[in-house]
Structures are given as structure tokens and as C-alpha cells.
A and B are shown apart, each in its own frame.
Chain A
Amino acid sequence: MEKVIDFLSFQDPTVRLVVAGTVLLSISAAVVGCFAYLRKRALVGDALAHSLLPGVAMAFLFSGQKDPWLLLLGAMVSGWLALGAMELIQQHTKLASETAIALVLSVFFGFGVLMLTYLQHHGGGDQAGLDQFLFGNAASMRSSDLYAYGLVGMVLLVIIGAFYKELKLYCFDPDHAQAIGLPTRGLRYLLNTMTVLATAIGIQSVGVVLMAALLITPAATARFWSYRLRTMLFLAALGGAVAGLGGSFASYLAPAMPTGPWIVMVLSFLALVSIFLAPRVGIFARMWRQRQNQRKIIRENLLKAFYHGLENREGDQAWLSRPEWQEQRHLPEWEWQIGFRQLRRHRWILRRSGHYRLTERGLAEARRVVRLHRLWELYLSRYLALGKDHLHPGAESIEHLITPEVEKELLRELDYPEQDPHRSPIPYKS
């Protein structure tokens, strides 16, 4: 508990430094990741992160120390080599881009592992720190590292701010960007360089293996809450910051724990919550809408069946028995069950000793559905010249979707017709 308070009060200057650094690294990776996500290059980021390993190991091999600028340089070199290799494979062989990504990822990583183990067996001194590139360890960063990586992160954010409009256009519509004379090749290089740099500094806190999460997950999460790029970038940055905070907290409480997995757990938690609960596009919202739609369709189908029953009956009788109603239309039993309940809840039907009748509002609703169905059939036969036996299915699905505005339009277009193509009368509002 004491440690929690220690951490949260930010008294300790080292804690402050580590937290500030991790949060900044995560933010810049999350923001750059948004562009990769929008360009559908999410997994390229994954491959890139893995491919930085040989460069990082190489920089260490030549300099014998963990100088942040040298490591960044090494990362840049191997990141660009990996990007080039992926592009060459895609251009000159028949392999799918997926395969090219997986191939470059695993080979570069394998080579990196080979070099790392070579270093461990031959190198001296500081080489233990290299392991931390695999899973990240925020707490082990020195202040000189933090300043260097923090600076790079800041520069990335400033560049994005400066070229915001160009980058936005390029990500959403590269052809248009090229047509209006933007230097698309330059923008692509800029974005790729930024991805390499963001990955290179991000691996300090999450490590090579889980870096993909820092690029992809905040972007995907933010997408559930906004369609505007500005808001999306802001939300992704916020998600990255929260995760960075959580990760450095975990690594402060248990210094032996790698930071990366905890950052990823926080990010994934935010993502799962958004995926299920986000308004409009979340899974639950979608399921709810689907259910409402399904109920509406069942309701309207039952009303239509009732109306047909009224048309086919003898005499003027407003009451129909349940078998009389059900023989109008073949629907599965569960739909009838749901439909009865729905209609009663809407107070569109009355029931007395096994017989049903429509209330005034129910009748109006039934007339509306039948009217839309018959109007649409007429429209199809008049404007699309479809044969009589082809009209019904089309009308059957669209009648549930026609809005009052479209209905008005249809009526005007068809000039308030009396009968549909099957010579059934079209019911108007009484």
C-alpha cells in the first residue's frame, strides 16, 4: 500500500522520470500507429518491431554500450532493410503480402536472436540489459536514455502536427493526394520513417514482441468512439498514456516484471470494453439494433397477415381466430410467439376468448405495411418492368425499410394509384 501511495504521489524523482518517459513513448507510438492502422499496415508495424532486433544488437556489438542514439541508428538501419525486403518480395515474387510480412518478421527476428545469444556468450559487461528489448522494462531506463527517446517522441508528435493535413489526405485517399500534386512518395517515406522511429523508442517500454499492440490497439480502440481523425488521434494518445502509466506502475511495484505485458493488458482491457460497449458500433449496440430490427419485421409481418385475413374473410367481422390468422402466412412458431407478445405490448391487438382484432392504431399500422408492400410492387412492375411473379420477394424485404419520406415520394411518382399489379386495392389512411 505504501508503495502505491509512493507511486501515485510522484514524490520520487526517478519515478517521475520513468512515468513521464513511458507515457510519452506510448503516446507517440499510439499516435503514429493510428496512421498505420488507417493505411491497413497494422501488421507491418508488428514485423518492423521484430526486425529492429538485429539492428539494436548490431549497434551494441560495435559500440559495446547501450548508447540510445546508436541504438536508434541501428534500429533505423534494420527497420529500413526490413521494409525494403518486404517491398521487394511483394514486387518481384508471387508471394502474398501477408507471407512477405511473416517471412521478414521471422527471419529478421531469428537473426536478431542469433546475434543476441552470440553477444551473451561473447560480450562482457552490460549485455544483460539487451534482454529487456524483448519485453521492455521501463524502470531500467537511465535518465540519459529517457531524454533521448523522449526527444524523439516529441519530434514525432510535432511532425504529425505540422503535416497533419497532408498525412490525413494521404491515409484516406492516396490517389486523390497524388492527383492534387502532393508528394505521395515523400509522405510514404515520412510515415514509414515515423513508424520505424516510434517502434524503436516504443520497444524500450513494451519490448519488440508486443510492440504491435502499442501501434494497433489504441488506434482500433479509438476508432470505436469517433470517426473524426483528430478525435481518434487524441483518444488513441489518451489510451496510450493510460497504458503507459499502468505499465510503469506495475514495473515499479514488481521490478522483476517486464513492463510490456502490463501495458498490453491495460490496452487490451480498454479495447475489449470499447469493442463491446461503444455506442452505435460496439458489438452490444449492433446486436441490440439487430434485435430491434428483427422484432419490427416480425411485428409487421404478423400485422400484414392479419390484414390479409381481414381481406379474405366473409362478411364484415373484425375478429379472427388464431388458426384463421396463422393460415395467412407461413412463419415459424417462435416468430408467432414473439409477434403476439410484441403486438400486445404495443396495444395493436385485442384478444378475447381465442379471437383477435386490431385496435385502431394496429389497423393503421397494418394498412401502412400493406400499402408500402403494394406500392413497391407497383413501382417495380412499372419502372423495372418485372414480371408479376417476381414482384413479391423484392417488396417483402423492402417494405420494412421504407421511410415516410420515401413513401411520399413513391405516392407522387405513382400518382396515388388505386390498385397494385395483382389488382388488390391499396389501402390509404382512412
Chain B
Amino acid sequence: MTIEGLYIIIAAMLIAASSALVGSFLILRKMSMMGDAISHAVLPGIVFAFLLSGSRAGLPMLMGAAATGVLASLLIELLYRKAQLPQDASIGITFTWLFALGVILISSYTGQVDLDQECVLYGEIALVPLDWLYTGAGGALAPRAIVYGVVLLLVVGLYLLLGYRGLVITSFQNDFAAALGISTAFWHFSFMSLVSVTTVLSFETVGAILILAFLVVPPATAYLMTHRLPVMLVWAVFWGLLAAVEGYFLARWIDGSIAGAMASVAGLNFMGVALVKQALKRKKRATALHTAAVK
């Protein structure tokens, strides 16, 4: 394996680990499609960040772009509560609108924005080794995607470290938390912000739809395996990392999109676990029937 390949895998692993942690809570809060919505809705914010800061947007700009994601979740709430649309329709209307706006912006400013329509969907992870960040003195620091990945992991880690209890109690027992006087709105919107930041920082690398794969598939796989949250988090990260590595080699082997390959193998991993789980269940039932019959 070349050093470039290593960079790509490291960047993907950083994103996979952070998304697995965030995505686990997304699943527990039954908000997977909200993740889908936010991952699409941040696009206009990102395009604006790019337009304002030239061809490459810096970290602070991207953090600003994450506000679009929070805005989208507010808009969804507005449609759901004030206009009394069904929740799925509120989500569908909001994100398609914002995403369409983003695509139109991109195609109107093709020269000025270093994004294209396909990259928006499935990222440009293959370009990770080509785009370096430099230190003030001019020395090469690390590929940009890896720096962003580290920042993302730190943000997610810090949020979970500080907010673990609040997030857990509002995820499992929202009413109880409200009765205890915990601000459920605070946890909802701070968590939505975290999802937005995750999306924005991974956007260029894996694109809007494949970030959803990283957010949902490894945690869903882990969710099948255990009832305990800490164990689930560990497994989710494991499946995320595994998909990143497997996906890279699959893509190299058949010469296709790396991010697409990662999503595909994540799906295969899920299928494998689900089938094993199903087989175990059947076997257990058969044994139970057998013992009952013997008695």
C-alpha cells in the first residue's frame, strides 16, 4: 500500500469513527432521516462559505456553514408544529429545497466554487493526499481532510465527554428528562448542531449521501448486537473503521468510487450481522422447542 492510500484510509477512519458516535445517538433518538435532511441541507451554507472565502473554505467558515443545518432543523420543526404537516413531509420538503438551492448556486458559480455536482453527492476522498495544509512557516502539516477529521473527532469527543449524561437521558426518556427540569430543547438543538458540524466537516471527503451511510449503517449494525449503550458505541466505531478499510481495498480492486465502496461494504457488514443474528434466534427457538418437547 502506498503512503497516499494510507492518508485516504486515515481520513476515512477519522470520519467513520466520529460519525459512528454521533450516528448511534441519531438512531436512539429515532432521527435517522433528520440526519439525511441535515446532510443535504448544509449544502447552500457550504457553497456560501466557499464563495466568501475563495476556492477553499477555512475551518471557521465551515463551522458557520453548519448553521444551515441547524436552520434546516428549525424549519422542519416550524412546518411540523405550526403548519401541522406530517413529520416525514416536513423533512422531505425542507431538505430538497435547500439542496436544490445549493446545486443551483454551484452550477451558477462553477468557476468560483471548487465543488461540482457529483462531488457534492459522493465526495472526493481520492483527492485527500493532494490537498495539504501548510504551517505558518510554510512547512507541510498534513492533508487537509486529516486535519479536519482530527478536529471533528475532538469536537465530537468533547461534546460526548461533557454532555454524555444529558444526551443519554434525553435520548431514552425525553418526558422524564423534561420532568426533571432538563432542557430537552437544548439537547435537541445542540445535538442537531453536532450532526451539522459532522456533516460539514466530512462533506468534501465523502459527500452528502455517503455521510448518511457512515452515520446510520455502522450504528445500526451495532444496535443489533447489544442492549447496552457503551458497548454499542464501541461496536459502532468498530464497524465504521472496518467499513473504511474494507471499502478502500474494494474500490482499489474494482477501480470505482472509494466512498461508494465504503457504503456498500458497510451495508454488507450489516447484512452479515443481521443474518447471523437471525440464525442464532432460530437456533435458540429450535432448542427451546426441543427442550419443551423432551419434557
Most interface-central of B118, B223, B260 (chain A CB within 10 A): B260
- Tell me the bound Cα distance from A113 to B267 in angstroms: 14
Chain A residues touching B, range: 35 or more
Those of A232-262 within 8 Å (CB) of chain B: 256-258, 260-262
Query: Of the 9-residue stretches B54-62, B76-84, B154-162, B178-186, which lies at the interface with chain A?
Result: B76-84
Would you call B92 and A217 a contact (CB within 8 A)?
Answer: yes
Q: A337-368, CB under 8 A of B: which get 1 and which 0? A: 00000000000000000000000000000000
Would you call B267 and A286 a contact (CB within 8 A)?
Answer: no
- Tell me the bound Cα distance from A271 to B261 in angstroms: 37
With a cutoff of 8 Å between Cβ atoms, the chain A residues found around residue B254 in the complex are 114, 118
Flag whether B287 is at the interface (Cβ < 8 A). no
Those of B80-101 within 8 Å (CB) of chain A: 82-86, 88-89, 91-93, 96-97, 99-101
How distant is A128 from chain B, measured CB to nearest CB, in Å?
12
Would you call B209 and A209 a contact (CB within 8 A)?
Answer: yes
Would you call B256 and A117 a contact (CB within 8 A)?
Answer: yes
With a cutoff of 8 Å between Cβ atoms, the chain B residues found around residue A196 in the complex are none
Would you call B89 and A103 a contact (CB within 8 A)?
Answer: no
Given known contacts A103-B216, A107-B267, is B89 in contact with A286 (CB within 8 Å)?
no
Q: A200-235, CB under 8 A of B: which get 1 and which 0? A: 000000000110110111011001100000000000
With a cutoff of 8 Å between Cβ atoms, the chain A residues found around residue B259 in the complex are 110, 113
Residue of A nearest to B265 (CB): A110
With a cutoff of 8 Å between Cβ atoms, the chain B residues found around residue A106 in the complex are 36, 209-210, 212-213, 216-217, 263, 267
Would you call A262 and B104 a contact (CB within 8 A)?
Answer: yes
How distant is A127 from chain B, measured CB to nearest CB, in Å?
13
With a cutoff of 8 Å between Cβ atoms, the chain A residues found around residue B190 in the complex are none
With a cutoff of 8 Å between Cβ atoms, the chain B residues found around residue A43 in the complex are 33, 88, 91-92
- Tell me the bound Cα distance from A220 to B79 in angstroms: 11
How distant is A37 from chain B, measured CB to nearest CB, in Å?
6
How distant is A11 from chain B, measured CB to nearest CB, in Å?
27
- Tell me the bound Cα distance from A219 to B93 in angstroms: 11
Pick from B92, B209, B256, B274: contact of A216, CB below 8 A. Answer: B92
Would you call A103 and B88 a contact (CB within 8 A)?
Answer: no
How distant is B94 from chain A, measured CB to nearest CB, in Å?
9
With a cutoff of 8 Å between Cβ atoms, the chain B residues found around residue A40 in the complex are 86, 88
Would you call A135 and B84 a contact (CB within 8 A)?
Answer: no
Would you call A111 and B267 a contact (CB within 8 A)?
Answer: yes
Flag whether A275 is at the interface (Cβ < 8 A). yes
Query: Of the 9-residue stretches B3-11, B24-32, B139-147, B195-203, which lies at the interface with chain A?
Result: B24-32
How distant is A236 from chain B, measured CB to nearest CB, in Å?
12
Would you call B212 and A113 a contact (CB within 8 A)?
Answer: no
Those of A69-94 within 8 Å (CB) of chain B: 89, 92-94
How distant is A109 from chain B, measured CB to nearest CB, in Å?
5
Pick from A37, A99, A116, A262: contact of B30, CB below 8 A. Answer: A99
Would you call A98 and B31 a contact (CB within 8 A)?
Answer: yes
Flag whether A299 is at the interface (Cβ < 8 A). no
Flag whether A374 is at the interface (Cβ < 8 A). no
- Tell me the bound Cα distance from A122 to B253 in angstroms: 13
How distant is B272 from chain A, measured CB to nearest CB, in Å?
13
Flag whether A264 is at the interface (Cβ < 8 A). yes
With a cutoff of 8 Å between Cβ atoms, the chain A residues found around residue B66 in the complex are none
Would you call B270 and A103 a contact (CB within 8 A)?
Answer: yes
How distant is B248 from chain A, measured CB to nearest CB, in Å?
12
Flag whether B53 is at the interface (Cβ < 8 A). no
Would you call A103 and B31 a contact (CB within 8 A)?
Answer: no
Flag whether A298 is at the interface (Cβ < 8 A). no
Would you call A121 and B255 a contact (CB within 8 A)?
Answer: yes
Would you call A92 and B88 a contact (CB within 8 A)?
Answer: no
Q: B197-239, CB under 8 A of A: which get 1 and which 0? A: 0000000000001101101110010011000000000000000
- Tell me the bound Cα distance from A96 to B34 in angstroms: 13
Those of A107-151 within 8 Å (CB) of chain B: 107-118, 121-122, 131, 134-135
Flag whether A58 is at the interface (Cβ < 8 A). no
Residue of A nearest to B251 (CB): A114
Pick from B33, B82, B224, B264: contact of A102, CB below 8 A. Answer: B33
- Tell me the bound Cα distance from A121 to B261 in angstroms: 15
- Tell me the bound Cα distance from A48 to B101 in angstroms: 22
Residue of A nearest to B97 (CB): A268
With a cutoff of 8 Å between Cβ atoms, the chain A residues found around residue B40 in the complex are 209
With a cutoff of 8 Å between Cβ atoms, the chain A residues found around residue B263 in the complex are 106-107, 109-111, 113-114
Flag whether A46 is at the interface (Cβ < 8 A). yes
Would you call B100 and A260 a contact (CB within 8 A)?
Answer: yes
Most interface-central of A99, A134, A282 (chain B CB within 10 A): A99
- Tell me the bound Cα distance from A117 to B35 in angstroms: 25
Given known contacts A103-B220, A262-B104, is B89 in contact with A110 (CB within 8 Å)?
no
Most interface-central of A103, A131, A213, A283 (chain B CB within 10 A): A103
Would you call B224 and A93 a contact (CB within 8 A)?
Answer: yes
Flag whether B151 is at the interface (Cβ < 8 A). no
Q: What is the interface of chain A, defined by CB distance below 8 A to chain B?
A: 37, 40-43, 45-46, 50, 89, 92-96, 98-99, 101-103, 105-118, 121-122, 131, 134-135, 209-210, 212-213, 215-217, 219-220, 223-224, 256-258, 260-262, 264-265, 268, 271, 275, 281-283, 286
- What 8 A-B pairs come out closest when comparing CB atoms? A110-B263, A107-B267, A113-B260, A114-B260, A213-B96, A106-B213, A102-B32, A264-B100
Q: What is the interface of chain B, defined by CB distance below 8 A to chain A?
A: 27, 30-33, 35-36, 40, 79, 82-86, 88-89, 91-93, 96-97, 99-101, 103-104, 107, 117-118, 121-122, 209-210, 212-213, 215-217, 220, 223-224, 251, 254-257, 259-264, 266-267, 270, 274, 277-278
What are 9 A-B residue pairs whose CB atoms fall within 8 Å in the complex? A43-B92, A92-B274, A103-B32, A103-B220, A105-B36, A107-B213, A107-B263, A111-B264, A216-B89
